[in-house]
Amino acid sequence: MMTLLFPGQGSQQPGMGRFLYDNFKIARETFEEASHALSFDLKKLCFDGAESDLALTENTQPALLLVSTATQRVLRAEFHLKISAAAGHSIGEYAALVAAQVLDFEAAMRAVRIRGQAMQSAVPVGQGGMIATLGLDPEQSQFLCDYVVKTSALGPLSPANFNCPGQIVLSGSMKAIEWLKSNFKPEIFAEPPRRAKLIPLNVSAPFHCEMMSPAEDRMRAVLMEIPFKSPQFRIVQNYTAQFENSPDQLRENLIRQVSAPVRWTESMELLKKENLTKCIECGTGKVVTGLLKKIDSDAFKVFNTNSLEDLKLIEEFLKASSH
């Protein structure tokens, strides 16, 4: 039994999914289904699109859902994969829900296209941003946001992604972020962190913070129109960092995660507690693998899906496990 983990924005890259398309009929069918759902050629976007085109949020989100879905379909068709649980990082949660048959794939593709557009248009370009903090714990990251807003009278600013111990992303007003970059001193903390670092992120909007509430309202209208079913296996959601199985609760949490933080560290700790630690990163890149190394490299065994060689390793592991 394997746990499927689906990556979020930032893992996209030109050429994503091409080896699946070239080698597996079910992947080609998935690309056709997705292109039909959105009435444009997603194959061209994923294989030949410029990095700048793929980085547009309204393109990134459908591309990630498509490649993640093609990946899990290939794994299931080729290896008769048994799945015990799934989780997705931000937009990756849609792929987890498609895999668990909570959401219809074409409906999900249309929803994430709207989600990307709504998140992009919620805040005028340049007014919001995100900055990664390294070396802070969750309490320190919250304290830092409160300190910036109070001292600078600029805001909002809040923790947006609890990615792994020591890596927490803040999101909010670009003016607040600029102020933070100019005025950050470890001495503001009662117990200064040993090594704290700030890394501004090259993103087009301030995701997972209150500035996204117009996008959340838009997604509420969209997702209320889409049927949600009971999941075929356990799903951990970003909003609660808990297992959810009620269709109504799955929908509500998916709506709320647009402007709420991604509680990834807690979600992965829950999987560890339940011994759901044999994982496959279903999609392009190795971002999730990198986070799990920092969360608990001993507990988690993670396979990637970026090449035929990667799939071969999964096949060999599944064969060995079944004896």
* Residues labelled catalytic: 90, 208
- What does each C-alpha distance from 111 to 106, 108, 241 come to in angstroms? 9, 5, 22
DSSP 136: -
Residue 239 is which amino acid? Y
Between CA 305 and CA 312 the distance in angstroms is: 10
CA pair distance 314, 323, nearest whole angstrom = 15
Q: Which residue is it, tokens 């085109």?
A: 53
Q: Is 186 exposed, middle or buried (0-12, 13-18, 19+ CB in 10 A)?
A: middle
Asked if residue 196 lies in contact with residue 162, where contact means CB atoms within 8 angstroms, the answer is no
